[in-house]
A and B are shown apart, each in its own frame.
Chain A
Amino acid sequence: MSTFRFTRDHEWVRLDGDLAVVGITDYAQSQLGDVVYVELPEIGHRVEKGKEAAVVESVKAASEVYAPVSGEVTEINDTLTAEPAKVNADPMGAGWFIKLRLDDARELDDLMDEEGYKRFIEEQH
């Protein structure tokens, strides 16, 4: 069972072998509402922790998705182009955004675990 880590900007990351899978949280999708468009980086593109990695758009607005960790994009979830609503339906699973080859696995240590993220969301309210 892989472990999810979370950012304060509501992205999640989990390790899948030596790759990091990245997406947005259930809380994030519920705040965005119906997702109608997802823009993903190209394979081979380098993303930097805390910098824009993708864009997700709801009916109302566009939001940036920040890279939880630095690395090189090795895979993107192409199915989101035709079916952006997957982000709403299964944000932590089929609605993943990108896979990265991590520069430094220690960057994961800075992120919240599930308990910590839950507390963080509660504090926002």
Chain B
Amino acid sequence: MALAAPAAPLKRTPLHSLHVARGAKMVPFVGYEMPVQYSSGILAEHLHTRSQAGLFDVSHMGQLRLAGRDPVKALEALVPGDLMALGPRRMRYTLLLNEAGGILDDLMATRLEDGLFLVINAARKEADLAHLRARLGRDATVEMIEDRALLALQGPAAATVLSGFCDGIERLGFMTATEALLCGCKCLVTRSGYTGEDGFEISVPAASAAAVAETLLARPEVRPVGLGARDSLRLEAGLCLYGHDIDETTSPVEAALAWTIGKRRRAEGGFPGTEIVLRQLAEGAPRIRVGIRPDGRAPAREDTPIVDPAGVTIGRVTSGGFGPSVGGPIAMGYVDRRHAAEGTALALLVRGTARPARVVRLPFVPHRYYPG
């Protein structure tokens, strides 16, 4: 008789008991027990984030500290983003690339006085750490920050709420970081997020995370929001989910992330896969990530085949579902470049039936970041 190997026990974030106490439905997610939704449900949580403010526990994500002689230069050798142009406390969205120009991970890099602060995907923590250790060279050291939680406060009321605890933080620029005292606890706050709304991410010592979260949740504008709504919010915002919309087989140009490749980097190169990425920039990639609106009401999920009006397969859906703020189905996927223009008619093979759809501009819901 064969016995199944015991599954590794799920890790818990410092907010675990807060989630349970607030009626969260907990699910396994990349090795963590995480709230997928609370009792009000994904739709209500999604719409609340767009109208007021949602508090997300994203402590499963990796927080890294890069230090040493020249961490900026060292990391630039592994990503196509212009990190040297980052002023103090400024942050940038960038990509770890492999030698073929494929995306190993997407991340946020913030320049601090003593180095760089990175936020990476939970599922890529071990792989990224090994990659960075092997490739950063002598100019930088890398360290996983294990004793901090990460919260995201997102939505149009986020700035007003946070300024109630930390005077002046409502004027923090988009994609900028600052140290702030929240509940008497020193946090690193960035004006960033993954919903398309104005908002903040708060890196907080694990021991104080629940107190900070409870303090924010005590405000009437703020409700806890789970991973379910986090996914529908980022999809409406046209933002990529690693392992779905981007992975080692997709290049930045194919992923419609060419905007992350700095002008100086295009001229100088010096990042993994430079040759193929620059060639795709000049000539176009064979396929490209686009937004797709199904004509009817049926959602098209990940891996749904995309066909042209003649029925020939031209791509597949990488993220798809229902957009609560859009009020209908939305999807992103890769299509052959000849079918990527806005307005192009496509069909989606949902349960064997070809359903009409169109290529649309991303995002599905306009971004409402802090204009500064």
Contacts and interface: CB of A to CB of B under 8 A. Distances in A.
B297 A33 contact: no
Contacts of A39: 298, 351
Interface string A35-76: 011010000000000000001011111100000000000000
Interface stretch (B35-43, B200-208, B211-219): B35-43
B42 A34 contact: yes
Contacts of A61: 301
A33 B322 contact: no
Interface string B309-328: 00000000000011010000
A81 interface: yes
Contact of A59 (B42, B297, B351): B42
Interface in B331-372: 351
A72 B231 CA distance: 39
Interface in B22-79: 36-37, 41-44, 46
B84 to A, nearest CB: 41
A81 B298 CA distance: 10
Contacts of A57: 298-299, 322
Nearest to A52: B351
A39 to B, nearest CB: 6
A33 B299 contact: no
A100 B173 CA distance: 61
Interface in B274-315: 297-299, 301
B232 interface: yes
B329 A37 contact: yes
A55 B228 contact: no
Contact of B324 (A37, A55, A59, A81): A59
Interface residues of A, number: 13
A58 B301 CA distance: 11
Given A33-B41, A33-B42, A34-B43, A60 B321 contact: yes
Contacts of B37: 33
Contacts of B321: 59-60
B301 A62 contact: yes
A82 to B, nearest CB: 9
Contact of B351 (A55, A58, A81): A55
A59 B228 contact: yes
B351 A37 contact: no
B41 A34 contact: yes
A60 B42 contact: yes
A27 to B, nearest CB: 14
A36 B299 contact: yes
Given A59-B232, A59-B322, A60-B228, A37 B41 contact: no
Contacts of B297: 37, 81
Contacts of A34: 41-44
A116 to B, nearest CB: 26
A37 B46 CA distance: 17
A2 to B, nearest CB: 30
Contacts of A59: 42-43, 46, 228-229, 232, 321-322, 324
A55 B352 CA distance: 13
Interface of B: 36-37, 41-44, 46, 228-229, 231-232, 297-299, 301, 321-322, 324, 329, 351
25 contacts: A33-B41, A33-B228, A34-B41, A34-B42, A34-B43, A36-B299, A37-B298, A37-B299, A37-B322, A37-B329, A39-B351, A55-B351, A57-B299, A59-B42, A59-B43, A59-B228, A59-B232, A59-B321, A59-B322, A59-B324, A60-B42, A60-B231, A60-B321, A61-B301, A81-B297
Given A33-B228, A57-B299, A60-B321, 13 more contacts: A34-B44, A37-B298, A37-B322, A59-B228, A59-B229, A59-B232, A59-B322, A60-B36, A60-B42, A60-B228, A60-B231, A61-B301, A62-B299
Interface of A: 33-34, 36-37, 39, 55, 57-62, 81
Closest 8 CB pairs of A and B: A36-B322, A34-B43, A59-B42, A34-B41, A59-B322, A33-B41, A37-B297, A57-B299
